[in-house]
């Protein structure tokens, strides 16, 4: 994976709404079977002027939370308005100057009554950091930067292939995607070693204990061939 090109940076600086239309499509030299239709996608600008978007999510309502690679999260309202104050600003903790580093993953706890959300970012020493933060008790459009609980730190050998999407599965567990930390083709074969967290998908229980617990049905639980956290 290469750093974002100029075109990619431009595209990730805006959010687009896709509107579905369903007229019959007609092209010269192409016959549409009777009764068949094609959907035409129309892109409509929704919000713009972000600094390299790395993740977009929601928290069970109409607001969008947009993570920027530099270490900020912005709130976009249902009308497409970007709130002027960032939801969270941890640019002082995030390294985004080289390669594929930065704030890489964002997800809220699936229980809407909980105010936790989780980030995966490259810290100032170049390592992948999985952290939990808390939404402000007084303002749902702000997070508390001092609430950070660092759950896991994984050394990264290079600024490339650092990761990493975050998602909760239907089983309620947190899934963490970590890059192999290397160059094209994983020359160090990190992703082929389940005892190395690089190049894996982790599956974590974030509800049973802190910083996390291991789901009992993870494939390497009790098996020295791999780390307990590794799902794939």
Confirm whether 97 is domain-assigned. Answer: yes
Predicted confidence at residue 28, as pLDDT, reads 54
Query: Would you state the structure tokens that stand for residue 12, as one six-digit string?
Result: 């990730």
Mean pLDDT, consecutive 10-residue segments, the chain of 232 residues? 39 49 47 71 89 92 94 96 97 89 96 93 95 96 97 88 92 94 76 88 96 97 95 95
Predicted confidence at residue 97, as pLDDT, reads 80
Confirm whether 160 is domain-assigned. Answer: yes
Predicted confidence at residue 167, as pLDDT, reads 98
Confirm whether 161 is domain-assigned. Answer: yes
To the question of pTM greater than 0.75 for the whole model, the response is yes
Confirm whether 44 is domain-assigned. Answer: no
- Give the domain CATH number at 138: 2.120.10.30
Q: How many domains does the chain have?
A: 1
Confirm whether 209 is domain-assigned. Answer: no
Confirm whether 224 is domain-assigned. Answer: no
Predicted confidence at residue 156, as pLDDT, reads 87
Confirm whether 124 is domain-assigned. Answer: yes
Residue 188's domain comprises 51-204
Confirm whether 213 is domain-assigned. Answer: no
Predicted confidence at residue 8, as pLDDT, reads 38
């Amino acid at each position: 994976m290469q750093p974002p090109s100029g075109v990619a940076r431009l595209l990730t600086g805006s959010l687009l709404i896709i509107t579905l239309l369903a007229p019959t499509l007609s092209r010269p030299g192409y016959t549409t079977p009777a009764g068949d239709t094609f959907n035409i996608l129309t892109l409509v600008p929704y919000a713009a002027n972000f600094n390299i978007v790395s993740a977009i999510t929601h928290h069970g309502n109409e607001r969008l939370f947009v993570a920027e690679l530099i270490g900020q999260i912005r709130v976009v309202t249902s009308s497409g308005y970007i709130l002027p104050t960032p939801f969270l600003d941890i640019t002082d903790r995030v390294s985004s100057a080289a390669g594929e580093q930065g704030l890489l993953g964002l997800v809220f706890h699936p229980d809407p009554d909980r105010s936790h959300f989780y980030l995966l970012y490259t810290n100032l020493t170049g390592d992948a950091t999985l952290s939990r933060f808390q939404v402000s008790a007084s303002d749902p459009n702000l997070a508390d930067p001092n609430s950070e609980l660092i759950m896991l730190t994984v050394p990264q050998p290079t600024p490339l292939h650092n990761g990493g999407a975050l998602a909760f599965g239907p089983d309620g567990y947190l899934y963490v995607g970590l890059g192999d930390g290397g160059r094209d083709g994983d020359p160090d074969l990190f992703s082929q070693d389940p005892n190395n967290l690089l190049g894996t998908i982790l599956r974590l229980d974030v509800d049973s204990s802190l910083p996390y617990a291991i789901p009992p049905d993870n494939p390497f639980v009790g098996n020295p061939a791999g780390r307990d956290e590794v799902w794939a």
